[in-house]
């Protein structure tokens, strides 16, 4: 959705400048997201050391419900503010002020709704003790809604270093406060620490990224329609990201011989599994943040060639990255679980290759939908996410009550999720090809598939199942994958030169 007619002169950058912007953006935000993943991983792993599987399952369920609202507000607001800022830098300050007014009200409404609905949300999971957890966690979306406006301004202005600094600062603060308070007060303490970290980063962002008013006020009625549409898409995306755990917990209680304690333990094991499987999605968020303002400017300027080039190259690199992450995670999951978790969390290892494949598909689907949102095609992204959610929910509802507790139930949930995201991704690629004439080249798809097959063969040829052997096999799978891409010239000299140039900077 555009809010003004395209200007006479194209706003898109020359190819060389755009490549430099993308490279530097990927470097800064890539570092921040890797740091975010590592600290998030540390939070979950260390939390399993502080609390047992049932408490960890409680934290996971409540956190995932609230995360649907948190992630929706953050991602939707960033994209809404970024798009309108990237289209015309001169109105960045006015867009920021309009966004703050809009999101302060929305954040307050979401927080109030969660506080009021806490008993009902707890009742849905047949666990009354969730009520205070939901009420404390309700503060997080209130702070997030306004914080995301400042991040959106940084993203729209292509200030990727500032945006990365916010990520690193928040990740560090959250890790210290969440674990510190969890040590004192278990689950309640973890949510107190999380909320405190969100408040701290809001104060920091408001001081670093507050922009001066350099143009006429930007009417809220111009920002609201696009922001609402992106928020609607983002809540569907986050339902697709988190609903499998919630549905597993709900439908596990329908299985024979499963009580509330057993269902909580299953949920805790699935959350431990998701900690690994979500890594591809978190990694590819880097791509969405960098490409979004560039596609926004290209489509606003009606530059079809630039848009098609952005779409093709973005999906190509995203596919290569997703394949690398997926194959490493799937190589020896038992060894991976054995190194990181206590033995009681090991039942999820068998489901990791399936869920990792599903999350790779969801990651690629989110990249495709970010491109469509940047071009104002919000109706298409809403449709894609509704279809994905419906298939996933139906799959869990049909298979989980019939599965035995433990590994079979985890595999059933992972399989339903993987099927749904694969269908959603296939549909998204068709839309990209139809709308922009771009997408991952067929040759790239074939070469990535060949590289993944070679990595699987390499992993299977190594005997032994110990932890050290398992980690070595994971490294071997990654090396085999990269070697095939280089030998087939998918990752050729030009690609390596681009990477080397970015690293030198």
pLDDT digit string (tens) for 383-435?
A: 999 999 999 999 999 999 988 888 899 999 999 999 999 999 999 999 999 99
Residue 6 banded pLDDT, cuts 50, 70, 90: very low
- Condensed to tens digits (0 to 9), the pLDDT of residues 189-238 reads 999 999 999 999 999 999 999 888 766 777 777 777 888 888 888 889 88
pTM of the predicted structure, to 2 decimals: 0.75
- Smallest CA-to-CA distance from 371 within 438, 301, 273, 320 is with 438
How far, in Å, CA of 292 to CA of 156, rounded?
Answer: 8
pLDDT at residue 343, as a whole number: 80
Q: Does the structure show a pLDDT above 60 at 239?
A: yes
pLDDT for residue 334: 83
pLDDT-based confidence at 21, cuts 50/70/90?
low
Among 479, 477, 478, 448, smallest CA distance to 461 is for: 477
Contact 405, 252 (CB under 8 A): yes
Does the pLDDT at position 503 exceed 60?
no
| Residue of higher predicted confidence among 445 and 313 | 445
pLDDT of residue 68: 80
For residue 76, the model assigns a pLDDT of: 80
Decide if pLDDT at 74 tops 70: yes
For the beta carbon of residue 495, count every other beta carbon within 10 angstroms: 16
Q: What integer is the mean pLDDT of 3-9?
A: 39
CA angle 283, 286, 290 (to 5 degrees): 165
For residue 116, the tally of other CB atoms under 10 A from its CB is 11
**What confidence score (pLDDT) does residue 393 get?**
94
Q: Is 218 exposed, middle or buried (0-12, 13-18, 19+ CB in 10 A)?
A: buried
Distances (CA, A) of 84 to 7, 8, 29, 226: 14, 18, 21, 9
Which DSSP letter does residue 7 get?
Answer: P
CA dist list (Å): 166 to 151, 256, 377, 441 = 8, 47, 29, 35
Q: Could you tell me which of 117, 109, 32, 114 has the C-alpha nearest to residue 68? A: 114
Higher pLDDT, 231 or 175: 175
pLDDT in tens, 180-191: 999 989 899 999
**pLDDT of 382 above 50:** yes
Q: How far is CA 345 from CA 49, 95, 336, in A?
A: 12, 47, 11
Please give the Cα distance from 253 to 470 (Å, whole number): 35
Interatomic CA distance for residues 371 and 349, integer angstroms:
34
Mean pLDDT of 151-171: 90
- The least confident of 81-90, 109-118, 378-387 is 81-90
Per domain, the residue ranges of the chain are 22-440, 441-505
H helix or E strand, kind and range, residue 9: none
Average pLDDT for the chain: 85
Position 9 scores a pLDDT of 40
**Taking 50 as the threshold, does the pLDDT of residue 16 lie above it?**
no
Helices (H) and strands (E) in the chain, counts: 17, 0
Q: Calculate the alpha carbon distances from 94 to 144, 220, 285 in Å.
A: 20, 10, 27
pLDDT, one tens digit per residue, over 268-324 is 889 888 888 988 888 887 777 777 777 877 777 777 888 888 888 889 988 998 999
Q: Which of 53-57, 403-407, 494-498 has the lowest mean pLDDT?
A: 494-498
CA-based radius of gyration for the chain:
22
**For 475-487, how does the pLDDT look when each residue is reduced to its tens digit (9 = 90+)?**
899 999 999 999 9
Q: Report pLDDT for 7.
A: 39
* pLDDT in the model for residue 294: 73
User: What's the pLDDT score for residue 144?
Assistant: 92
C-alpha 291/C-alpha 21 separation (Å) is 10
Q: What is the DSSP letter of 405?
A: T
| HSE, side-chain direction, 13 A CA sphere, residue 356 | 23
Highest mean pLDDT among 48-57, 98-107, 271-280, 413-422: 413-422
DSSP state letter for 89: G
């Amino acid at each position: 959705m555009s809010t003004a007619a395209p200007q006479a002169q194209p706003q898109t950058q020359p190819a060389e400048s755009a490549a430099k912007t993308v490279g530097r953006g990927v470097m800064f935000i890539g570092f921040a997201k890797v740091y975010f993943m590592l600290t998030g991983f540390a939070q979950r792993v260390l939390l399993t050391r502080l609390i047992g599987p049932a408490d960890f399952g409680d934290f996971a369920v409540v956190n995932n419900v609230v995360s649907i609202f948190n992630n929706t507000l953050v991602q939707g607001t960033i994209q809404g503010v970024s798009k309108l800022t990237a289209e015309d830098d001169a109105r960045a300050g006015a867009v920021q002020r309009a966004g703050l007014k809009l999101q302060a009200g929305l954040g307050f409404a979401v927080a109030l709704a969660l506080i009021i609905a806490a008993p009902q949300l707890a009742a849905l999971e047949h666990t009354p003790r969730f009520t205070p957890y939901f009420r404390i966690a309700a503060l997080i979306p209130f702070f997030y809604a306004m914080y995301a406006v400042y991040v959106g301004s940084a993203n729209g202005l292509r200030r990727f270093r500032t945006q990365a600094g916010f990520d690193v600062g928040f990740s560090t603060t959250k890790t210290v406060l969440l674990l510190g308070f969890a040590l004192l007060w278990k689950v309640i303490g973890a949510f107190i620490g999380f909320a405190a970290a969100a408040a701290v980063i809001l104060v920091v962002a408001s001081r670093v990224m507050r922009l001066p008013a350099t143009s006429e006020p930007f009417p809220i009625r111009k920002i609201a329609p696009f922001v609402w549409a992106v928020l609607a898409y983002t809540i569907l995306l986050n339902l697709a990201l988190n609903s499998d755990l919630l549905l597993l917990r709900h439908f596990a209680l329908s299985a024979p011989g499963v009580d509330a304690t057993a269902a909580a333990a299953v949920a805790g094991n699935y959350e431990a599994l998701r900690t690994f499987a979500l890594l591809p999605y978190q990694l590819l968020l880097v791509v969405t943040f960098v490409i979004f303002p560039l596609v926004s400017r290209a489509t606003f300027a009606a530059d079809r060639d630039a848009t098609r080039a952005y779409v093709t190259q973005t999906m190509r690199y995203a596919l290569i990255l997703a394949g690398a992450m997926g194959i490493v995670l799937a190589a020896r999951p038992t060894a991976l679980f054995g190194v990181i978790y206590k033995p009681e969390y090991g039942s999820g290892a068998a489901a990791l290759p399936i869920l990792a494949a599903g999350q790779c598909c969801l990651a690629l689907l989110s990249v495709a939908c970010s491109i469509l949102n940047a071009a104002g095609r919000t109706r298409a992204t809403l449709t894609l996410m509704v279809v994905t959610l419906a298939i996933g929910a139906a799959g869990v509802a049909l298979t989980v009550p019939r599965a035995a507790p433990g590994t079979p139930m985890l595999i059933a949930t992972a399989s339903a999720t993987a099927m749904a995201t694969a269908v959603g991704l296939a549909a998204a690629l068709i839309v990209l090809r139809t709308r922009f004439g771009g997408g991952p080249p067929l040759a790239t798809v074939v070469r990535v598939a060949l590289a993944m097959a070679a990595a699987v063969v390499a992993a299977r040829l190594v005997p032994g199942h110990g932890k050290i052997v398992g980690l070595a096999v994971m490294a071997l799978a990654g090396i085999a994958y990269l070697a095939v891409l280089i030998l087939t010239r998918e990752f050729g000299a030009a690609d390596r030169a681009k990477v080397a140039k970015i690293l030198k900077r």
